[in-house]
């Protein structure tokens, strides 16, 4: 959403097909990315959870990493937290998920 000058209205700039049912997303202004913890619908009803980055200017999914499958990877409303070294953390029912770039 873009807020109109003067704050008297807004308009939709883009939408995304990503589904982030239970997370507090974070945005990185320098990277231009919105970080989400997403879940794709599956016919077998097994939850598959992903750490997902969406371009804040276009809504395009930039990358998506499978973090795990099943109820133990449900974040149960925990936020995405990005550490000083760029590692992203998500608290899940089974513990903690950490996603980082390969060295």
pTM of the complete model: 0.87
* Short-list 102, 99, 95, 96, CA closest to 33: 99
Give residue 103's pLDDT band: very low, low, confident or very high (50, 70, 90).
low
CA–CA separation, 35 and 31 (whole Å):
10
pLDDT at 98: 96
CA–CA separation, 9 and 103 (whole Å):
45
- For the segment 41-92, what is each residue's pLDDT rounded down to a tens digit? 888 988 899 999 999 999 999 999 999 999 999 998 899 999 998 899 999 9
Give residue 23's pLDDT band: very low, low, confident or very high (50, 70, 90).
confident
pLDDT at 42: 85
């Amino acid at each position: 959403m873009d807020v109109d000058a003067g704050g008297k209205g807004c308009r939709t700039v883009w939408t995304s097909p990503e589904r982030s049912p239970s997370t507090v997303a974070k945005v990185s202004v320098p990277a231009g990315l919105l970080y989400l913890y997403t879940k794709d619908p599956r016919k077998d009803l097994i939850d598959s959870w992903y750490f997902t980055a969406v371009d804040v200017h276009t809504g395009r999914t930039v990358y998506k990493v499978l973090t795990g499958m099943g109820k133990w990877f449900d974040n149960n409303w925990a936020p995405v937290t990005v550490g000083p070294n760029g590692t992203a953390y998500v608290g899940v029912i089974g513990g903690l998920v950490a996603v980082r770039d390969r060295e």
